[in-house]
Structure 1
Amino acid sequence: MPRAQQIRSRSISASPFLKWAGGKNQLLKDILPRLPEKISVYYEPFIGGGALFFALASQRRFKKAVIGDRNPVLVDAYQTVRDDVEALIEQLGPHAAHATDAEYFYWMRALDPSSMSRVERTARLLFLNKTCFNGLFRVNRRGQFNVPFGRYKNPTVLNPDLLRACSEVLQGVDIVEGDFEALAERAGPNDTIYFDPPYVPLSATSSFTAYDRHPFGRSEHARLARAYRACLARGATALLSNSDCEETRKLYRGLWVETVAATRAINVVASKRGQVNEVLVVGRRQSAPALRQVGASGHAVTSSSSLRRSRAAG
């Protein structure tokens, strides 16, 4: 990367370059104080928009990071930003000129990404993500992106400085495609792992797990709960986010569960994009992490304040 571009990339902090359902920007103030100041290896097997990863990276809190997802489109995007950011910026430029063009959007949506290069696929994804309805990523059973046009007045499709900042942070980071269990099995002492799966639905009609063609249902959540406990048994620090419902609390019975308030920004019905409770599973009862506030520097500092805590019924 040319020196001038390196300087420009440092003028903006790395943060999510994609809008993703369940993004954790709003919960960073709750999650960051519950993670160690020094992490040997940081694992995040449901990377999504990567808000927590980028925040930890900006604070230099891990020596190494391994991030992943089972969604190949998402993994493609992270690898492209890491390895080919200048080519991506060049490829995305012409698309950005059509940010408010519905006809162009549907033409792009109909293209077959399997015939494209990785850079072309990622440019298409970023364009669709920034211009589709509510920034949603959804595919049908055939794996085809099927979200309608968003009709935004002036969406930002291309932000070169942000992409370069993200690329800089992603250098040396392992980015893998696969099941969460493959990453979870690697977490051991002095490591930290954060699980942010598709949530347990609050009702029969509230579920949204169509990030890819494969459902994430009850059996996957049960398997995830076992993987979480296995991480704790190996000495890793493990945090997990999920919906605040009876099924979640049953899955993590006997562990330390805290309630946090979140705002749902992605919902077809605008009136339902309001505040809702979620849970943070933060470990065993006897070893629940001491709460630290995030100070002016962005780092955690010791504090006696806390969130509303609730031990899962044992």
Structure 2
Amino acid sequence: MISKGRHNETSRRPEPFLKWPGGKRWLWRTLQALVPSHFNRYFEPFLGGGAIFFALCPKRAILSDINPDLMNTYIQVRDSVDDLIEGLSRLTINRRTYDRIRNTNPNNTVERAVRFIYLSKTAFNGMYRVNQQGLFNVPFAGQQHRKLFESQALRAASTRLQRRELRVGDFAESLAAARSGDLIYCDPPYTVLHNNNGFLRYNESLFSWSDQKRLAKLADDAARRGAWVIVSNARTDHVRTLYPDFDAITVYRSSCVSARADSRRRVSEFLFVSRT
């Protein structure tokens, strides 16, 4: 049976509870016109902040990411939101608490989610980044009069995540599982701030060119099986050659990487849409 793809639940759509680098809240209005009105399952293998999932509100969803701490946080929001809120409510935003939380490595899954949310909310520019040793290495952002969390937002997200599958894994697993009538949205790590000459070198540290080619092949395979596939990516000639059988749509947004709003510039990205 094919389930309706949009407006599946009558309650107010929750906002993402995490700010994530490369988040796609800004893209939803454009993407909404490209999403089929009916589809079976929804796959999002680069979940990040989940902006498209929360906007789309599909009844059947398989959400995944290769980041185990990120996916654990989603699982705790879904399954243990009261405990999560209680843990967050005991924390204050200051440098001493920030340094203490950053230097902990809890084994308890709820405590790990508390740590993840706290650091992502209080780190500079809302970034969650680890070094090659897996240690969080973003400096404290300062007080900035920000809220650490909103109980209502977390509970709304918990409601939306009920009965959705949450997995840790490589994107290949999700794309290989998609079948005819499914919808896939892929938002791999990439940068839009370098030209064609610098793109390959710069992105090796984010998402290698080998990964890009692997993603394009798996996306094409899924489309040939009858799935709807949409991929966000950098707008470069190198990337365009990977998707010859997809429509390429150019979308624009303001860069969010500068600390000063007046120095952020307009950048462009590609949306690759399968012709299923």
Residues 75 and 208 of structure 1, relative CA distance in 2, 3 Å threshold: farther
CA distance in 1 between counterparts of 2:214 and 2:263 reads: 30
The amino acid across from 1:46 in the alignment is F
Q: How does 1:1-314 map to 2 (within 5 A)?
A: 13-57=13-57, 62-95=58-91, 98-99=92-93, 101-112=94-105, 115-199=106-190, 202-203=194-195, 204=198, 207=202, 215-267=206-258, 273-284=264-275
Kept in 2, the 8 Å contact 1:15–1:54? The answer is yes
In the TM superposition, what is the alpha-carbon distance from 1:270 to its structure 2 partner? 5.8
SS of corresponding position for 2:166: strand
Aligned residue for 1:298?
none
User: 2:6 is matched with which residue?
Assistant: none
CA distance in 2, matches of 1:90, 1:52: 28
Q: CA distance change for structure 1 residues 67 and 248 in 2, over 3 Å: closer, same or farther?
A: same
Structure 2 portions without partners, runs of 5+: 1-9
Give the RMSD, CA atoms, in angstroms: 2.1
CA distance in 2, matches of 1:282, 1:176: 25
Q: CA deviation at 1:273?
A: 3.2
2:235 alignment partner AA: D
Matched residue count: 263
Q: Contact (CA 8 Å) 1:22, 1:264: kept in 2 or not?
A: no
CA shift, 1:277, in A, is 0.4
The 8 Å contact of residues 67 and 173 in structure 1, kept in 2 or not, is answered as yes
Identity %: 37
Structure 1 CA distance for aligned equivalents of residues 18 and 203 of structure 2: 18
> How far off its partner does 1:264 sit?
2.4
Deviation, 1:271, is: 5.9
TM-score for both structures, normalised by structure 1: 0.79
Is the Cα contact below 8 Å between 2:203 and 2:209 reproduced in 1?
no
Q: Which 5+ residue runs of structure 1 have no aligned equivalent?
A: 1-9, 288-314
Q: Distance in 2 between matches of 1:272 and 1:144?
A: 30
Amino acid at match of 1:117: N
Using structure 2 for the length normalisation, give the TM-score: 0.89
Contact persistence 2:191–2:203 (CA under 8 A): no
